[in-house]
Chains A and B, each alone.
Chain A
Amino acid sequence: MSNSKKDPSSQTESRSLSEITYAPLTRRSFLKFGAAAATTYTGVSLALSPLKNFKEHLSLDEFLQQHYERLTPEKMQKIVARIEKEIARDYGVTAQVKDIKPVPGVEYAFALNIGKCIGCRRCVYGCMKENNTSRDPEIQYIRVLEMGKGSQNVEESEHYYTHDAVPQKDKYYMPVQCQQCKKAPCAKACPIRATWQEPDGIIVVDYNWCIGCRYCMAACPYWARRFNFSKPAIPKEEINTEMAYLGNRIRPRGVVEKCTFCLRRVRQGMQPACVEVCPTGSRMFGNVRDPESPINYILNNKRVYIFKEEAGTIPRFYYCFDV
């Protein structure tokens, strides 16, 4: 505060605050300014109040988490414990999340006999139960196409068929899911390597690394990938509490997910869920490096084709038929 009221046009002497603000600091101006400041402060803090809950969406540990391929077992333990806590907080179930490593010397392949598939969609729902996909909005990894006899006209296939009983006359059914391609365009398109091919052939997604840009979804020719537009909503009693970090744990909002050949099951030697529930037995799964496996029997003895072979993706999913 200056000690005297000087001429404002004078440049050489320091000016008081009141002179600089072009208003004398009176009680009135203080109250005006104070009211404006209080309103602004209230408005800004109200607007920023959702950030109070930010810790629920992204904790500091998760923000600083490394890529899966760089994690040590100790770090993995902490991460898994944190994920279990978050699932318990959000869904009210005690989950068991494990990091299951691939079995060495094993490469998976899937075969599906479209002569036997009747289009009952039990595989679709068995997969949902096993993999904890969101029920609302509904995410299904497998899409069964109802196609007319005589050609493979996918553009005119029916995705949303509803009948009293299947199969319908002159139709055949082709379920499509992630083909775990050897030359996967999705893994190539990911800008940050949030999705990559594991040594046993499964294309996996690190849900904590994925930024949700959906380049992989654009790249996939089979429409195999799904995006979580909102937080998955699953009824508590339908949650499968045995989860794997790269597989069927409940995903956060804003990440991409897809069929992982039931990674949690197959890396422990079990059949995938869709194979277990198929009533006709048209799905077959196995280790393609084992000459005695059913997959090799099919590749050697049955007529086998690959979906969208011209895309050059070299899938591990083989469609076969009996004649």
Chain B
Amino acid sequence: MRRRSFLYTVLPLVSGFILLVCISAGRAGDDASLPTSPEFIRLPHDWLDTTPIRGTPKLIYYLNKFMYECKVCHADLKVPTYECEKNLNVPGTFHMPFGAHKDMAFNHGLNMRCFNCHNCSNLGTYINFDGSEIPGDKPVLLCRKCHGVTYRDWQAGIHGRTNGYWDASRGKQAKLDCNQCHNPHQPHFPRLVPRPSPAAARTKLSEKGSRHE
């Protein structure tokens, strides 16, 4: 008797609930699997604004509107890169109560080792395949280590935007650095807020137009 009542009441309820959860999860509206960084999706007010998506970032750590050079917390380890992990007890740190680097998202595919790019002997620079230094203000020399095809396209002017003049003899051409568009730890180009749809579908001009407004 007891077994039967369990079979007929509790089991269907629980399984029904699980089924509902699965169905509703599958119907999640806009797909959220592509990365969306809140700070990138603002719309510039000026329609001819040419600021790159990430501005001009430097190899520096931002926390609560302060900038810290890596050396402030991490002493240079003075070991070859392949020994960095062994010695990584971060000497010279003082406790950061909020968990440094906790706010960073890491999603660079198979490139999951920090010291593939960062130089533990001289934080503030990057490292090359042969252990030589790459200056911290030249990220393109770092990214080209693995992204050679993209680098070749960038040199030709077709990867990334070229601002200024198409005719180099009449004016300057400005090419962007890799990290002015791509976050090195989460390099997929972020999603942006689109500008409003054409007026035929809008009843009044608004920042975020909707056909059913």
Contact = CB atoms under 8 A, between A and B. Distances in A.
Interface of A: 103, 111, 113, 116, 118-122, 124-126, 128-130, 135-138, 140, 143, 159-169, 266, 268-271, 273, 275-281, 283-287, 293-294, 297-298, 302
Nearest to A138: B199
A270 B171 contact: yes
A159 B158 contact: no
B36 A165 contact: yes
Contacts of B50: 276-277
Interface size classification for chain B: 35 or more
Nearest to B41: A165
B47 to A, nearest CB: 4
A140 to B, nearest CB: 6
Interface of B: 30-31, 33-34, 36, 41, 46-50, 52-53, 156-167, 169-171, 176, 181, 189, 191-201, 205, 208-211
Given A126-B48, A276-B48, A161 B166 contact: no
B23 to A, nearest CB: 19
Q: Is the contact region of chain B dominated by helix, strand, or loop, or is it mixed?
A: loop
Contact of B195 (A122, A278, A297): A122
Given A168-B30, A168-B31, A297-B156, A269 B170 contact: yes
B41 to A, nearest CB: 6
Contact of B158 (A125, A129, A270, A284): A284
B48 A160 contact: no
Given A162-B210, A277-B50, A279-B181, A298 B194 contact: no
B192 A130 contact: no
Contact of B159 (A103, A277, A281): A281
Interface centre among B163, B208, B210 (most CB of A within 10 A): B163
A161 B195 CA distance: 10
A294 B48 CA distance: 23
Contacts of B198: 138, 140, 143, 159-160
A116 B191 CA distance: 12
Given A125-B195, A277-B49, A284 B211 contact: no
Given A271-B165, A280-B161, A286-B166, 20 more contacts: A111-B158, A118-B192, A120-B192, A128-B47, A129-B46, A136-B205, A143-B198, A160-B201, A162-B209, A165-B30, A165-B191, A165-B193, A167-B34, A271-B162, A277-B48, A279-B192, A281-B181, A287-B167, A294-B158, A294-B162
Contacts of B209: 162
A269 B34 contact: no
B157 A294 contact: yes
12 contacts: A159-B198, A162-B197, A163-B30, A269-B171, A271-B164, A277-B47, A277-B48, A279-B53, A280-B161, A284-B162, A294-B156, A298-B158
A130 B160 contact: no
B47 A162 contact: no
A280 B165 contact: no
A128 B47 CA distance: 8
B47 A126 contact: yes
Contacts of B34: 167, 169
B83 to A, nearest CB: 38
User: Nearest 6 CB-CB pairs, A to B?
Assistant: A269-B170, A281-B161, A138-B199, A269-B167, A160-B201, A169-B31
Nearest to A238: B47
A294 B165 CA distance: 12
A26 B181 CA distance: 94
A269 B192 contact: no
Given A125-B47, A270-B165, A162 B53 contact: no
A212 to B, nearest CB: 21
B163 A271 contact: yes
Interface centre among A137, A159, A268, A271 (most CB of B within 10 A): A271
Contact of A121 (B46, B164, B195, B200): B195
